[in-house]
Homo-oligomer: A and B are copies of this chain.
Amino acid sequence: MAEKVGFVTMGEKKGVAKDIPELGIGMLGYAFMGKAHTNAYKKYPYIFWPPVAFPRLVAICGRNEEAVKEAKVRYGYEKYYTDWKTMLQDSEVQIFDNSGPNNLHAEPCIEALKLGKHVFCEKPLAATSEEAWKMWEAAKASPAKAMVCFNYRFVPALRLAKELIEEGKLGEIYHFRAQYLQEWIMDPNFPAVWRLQKGVSGSGALGDLGSHIVDLARFLVGEITSVSALTRTFIKERPSLEDPQKKVPVDVDDAFVAIVEFEGGAIGTLEASRFCGGRKNYQVIEINGSKGSLRFNLERLNELEVYLTDEEPKVLRGFHDVLVTESYHPFYDKWWPHGHIIGWEHTFVHAIAHFLDAVVNNRSIAPYGATFEDGYRCALVCDTILKSAETGKKELIQY
């Protein structure tokens, strides 16, 4: 019989892709971000084929044993831990992925870096800039790679935006404006979850949503030098998560607005809120330069609107609605034929691909990935926003 049947063994796997190593992942967290990161590790090797490494899902860690046990089975991790310190001792864990809450970022990441483990940490880097600074110090002192998961840098449309700006297609940048608007806590009876507790999250809309647009502002336009800001807490107390009959005060911002100056001369507006009815995950960015403009909306993340000031023929000047799904667009050669759009989750696949490439090929996280320095600088801008909101003055960023 001419037709052949093959039972390829794991040994043969090496045969097909012989120099491809495995990298053991130790995951902290199994909720929203644990799901998003794990999904990325699982998809990466067959989407970015051939991969630079096969992520091996070694262990997942969380405090609730029943839950973490189920997460282990659900996602196919080999083991589970209920203590991150123990997990970090596991020699099979080579990469520490921190998808835990903000106040659980600094200590585990610093410890992992000390142990020489590569760290992939969910944003914001820390609950405060002081913590973030310590993490950056730890990253500098470690031979391991450290990256903050500012995943929106890895939206194809935003990477394209970055490339356009770097190539000078927009000319000198005059304006940056970004809004990150959501609506999920408008109901006054929505409980005081951890994201609404300063002790756990550090801040409210600012750290959760604002940090994304601060990072994108820095990524796309450059350093922010000053901020003037206002914050608001529209609903001042909410039902306790433990006892819905009890009200607890909300000590984080429901929203902030800020105006900023950039090193390069541009001015900008930044705004984040969780009180914008109808705005589900509405992160909108517009940049205007001397040669053109661009606009991005996360709810339509496969598109980028671009205007070129001197385009010919001039009768056809207008914003191009670019469907960023061509094989020659960032990351898209890995996916589907054009027009077969990707989703929000895939930004994590791109981020993981970038991180693993840095780890395996000893490449720099910067400038496309966010380093811990970026994480710190972002945190500093956020802290200065809070400060300005208190002082009522334009505050300079003291990097």
A-side residues, CB < 8 A to B, are 1, 3-8, 12-13, 16-17, 32, 36, 38-39, 42-43, 45-47, 49-50, 65, 68-70, 72-76, 78-83, 85-86, 160, 163-164, 174-175, 177, 179, 181-184, 186, 228-230, 232, 234, 255, 257-259, 261, 265, 267-269, 271, 273, 275-282, 288-293, 298-304, 306-309, 314-323, 325-326, 328-329, 336-346, 392-394
Contacts and interface: CB of A to CB of B under 8 A. Distances in A.
A81 to B, nearest CB: 5
A280 B186 contact: no
A100 to B, nearest CB: 15
Contacts of A70: 16
11 contacts: A1-B86, A3-B85, A6-B79, A7-B78, A43-B43, A46-B76, A186-B290, A278-B309, A336-B345, A341-B344, A343-B343
Contacts of A47: 39
B255 A72 contact: no
Majority SS at the chain A contact face: mixed
Nearest to A47: B39
Given A72-B6, A80-B5, A82-B3, A280 B46 contact: no
Given A42-B42, A80-B5, A343-B342, A280 B325 contact: yes
Contact of A257 (B16, B80, B269): B269
Contacts of A392: 228, 393-394
Contact of A259 (B13, B234, B258): B258
Given A45-B74, A316-B320, 5 more contacts: A3-B82, A228-B229, A275-B290, A278-B293, A278-B319
